[in-house]
Amino acid sequence: MSKRSGSSPVPTDDQTPAASIRRLFAGPVVDRRRVLFAGAGLGALALVSPILAACGGSDGESEGGGSTGGPADFGKLTIRLSWIKNAEFSGEYIADTNGYYTKEGFSSVELISGGASATPQDTDVASGVALVGISGPDITGAAIAAGAPIKIIGAQYQKNPFCVMSMADKPILKPQDMYGKKIGVQATNESVWASFLSAAKLDASKITKVTVEFDPLPLTQGAVDGWFSFVTNEPNALKVEGFDTKYFLLADHGYPLVSETFMVLQSTIDKKRDLLKAFLRAEVLGWTESLKDPSMGAKLAATKYGKDLGLDADEQTLESAAQNKLILTADTKKNGLFTITEELMKENIATLNGGGLKLKESDVFDLSILEEIYKEDPSLISNLPDVPAA
């Protein structure tokens, strides 16, 4: 393995790369990468029943916030994040800091962090704790299959961020390279892992799955040959510690699910359309700035929004730059941020249904609000930067 070169003092036990990696992944394991491929049976229903209960009676509530001809006054905006407050939400930090939300008519914004003790995003949206939840088609699709009245109105990540990471001197560059190897997989990610093996038509008996935590130290020590991770996270955490890695994306090998999707109630789509348009415009502006300068949101994560997490600004900038490649593609450059092509939606639905769900595109996705804002203001597309190099 390759580490940083150059002379340096002999490190103490707390200054070694191993200790630094442990610090980066210290704290409670956060069940963020949870997949609910339980189908529409009792498993999914049990998980989603609190959502259905929370949605009861909501139709009788006053919606407000519609077009009144005067200045918009949408009140407080609450967004339930899918993870802790790191650079993953750079666009939201910039939109908040630059006043894009308030310019669109929101009096304030609350970014609700994910974490070990956080309730599921779906429940927070359904109960009214959050107007918008950032989630994924797997979680949202399972909830919809069990009867939850929610939909996806856009997707930040056009490519799924899961990858298999390996050390550069022993690279695993394609799924078949995992045969005969040990791959570290976190318990909370086993559903994603199993779904990928099925989608990629891999023989699981030829791969040794080792249950691990999120700290990738065992990979650097040779205890495993590959590591299941987000491409934006662990590879960059190891990079700042001097380790060279390689990876392949699941999205390039039969697992096309978009990610970091905006999830809202159907009633919000029906009755608060102007509010959602305002939200999406602010999001587009914030993420456009992040695409132009990945260090901007990374610094806000390290010094303001996630300042209590001990984040490293350099690593966060690497993470921000990496996620930009998942957000701005040839398709979103042409059609606008958060849009999903018809072909990609079909692939997502096929993957969800392959995992046991029985859904149509119209059950899961409603991109009509995005279509409206881009029709009304084409500059939201024309102001986008060039697509990042692969």
CA pair distance 298, 322, nearest whole angstrom? 12
Q: What pTM does this model have?
A: 0.83
Which part of the chain has CATH 3.40.190.10? 13-158+259-382, 162-252
**25 falls in which pLDDT band (50, 70, 90)?**
low
pLDDT score of 168 more than 50: yes
**Residue type at 260?**
E
Nearest to 153 by CA among 165, 168, 138, 140: 140
Nearest to 129 by CA among 137, 139, 138, 118: 118
Residue 128's SS3 state is coil
Nearest to 294 by CA among 338, 340, 326: 326
The residue ranking higher by pLDDT, 11 or 222, is 222
| DSSP per-residue codes, 171-237 | ---SGGGGTT-EEEEEGGGHHHHHHHHHHTT--GGGSEEEEE-S--HHHHTTS-SEEEEETTTHHHH
**46 falls in which pLDDT band (50, 70, 90)?**
very low
CA pair distance 259, 362, nearest whole angstrom? 18
Across 158-168, average pLDDT: 97
Question: DSSP 3-state helix, strand, coil percentages of the chain (rounded to 5)?
Answer: 45, 15, 40
Within 10 A of 147 (CB to CB), how many other CB atoms are there? Answer: 14
Within 10 A of 345 (CB to CB), how many other CB atoms are there? Answer: 21
Number of helices and strands in the chain (H, E): 18, 10
CB 109 within 8 A of CB 101: yes
pLDDT of residue 174: 97
Cα→Cα distances 367→44, 66, 262, 333, Å:
25, 19, 10, 16
**126 falls in which pLDDT band (50, 70, 90)?**
confident
Q: Per the structure block, which two tokens stand in for 280?
A: 């999406």
Residue matched to tokens 């900038």? 317
Angle at 148 between CA 146 and CA 153, to 5 degrees: 120
| DSSP per-residue codes, 243-308 | --EEEEEGGGTT----EEEEEEEHHHHHH-HHHHHHHHHHHHHHHHHHHH-HHHHHHHIIIIITGG
Range with the lowest mean pLDDT among 16-20, 34-38, 137-141, 278-282? 34-38
pLDDT score of 206 more than 60: yes
Query: What's the fold here for domain 13-158+259-382?
Result: D-Maltodextrin-Binding Protein; domain 2 (3.40.190)
Residue matched to tokens 């407000």? 64
Q: Per the structure block, which two tokens stand in for 301?
A: 């994560």
Query: What's the fold here for domain 162-252?
Result: D-Maltodextrin-Binding Protein; domain 2 (3.40.190)
Across 102-115, average pLDDT: 94
CB 121 within 8 A of CB 263: yes
**115 falls in which pLDDT band (50, 70, 90)?**
low
Nearest to 283 by CA among 264, 302, 255, 270: 264
Give residue-wise pLDDT tens across range 237-269: 999 999 999 999 999 999 999 999 999 999 999
pLDDT of residue 285: 98
CB 216 within 8 A of CB 237: yes
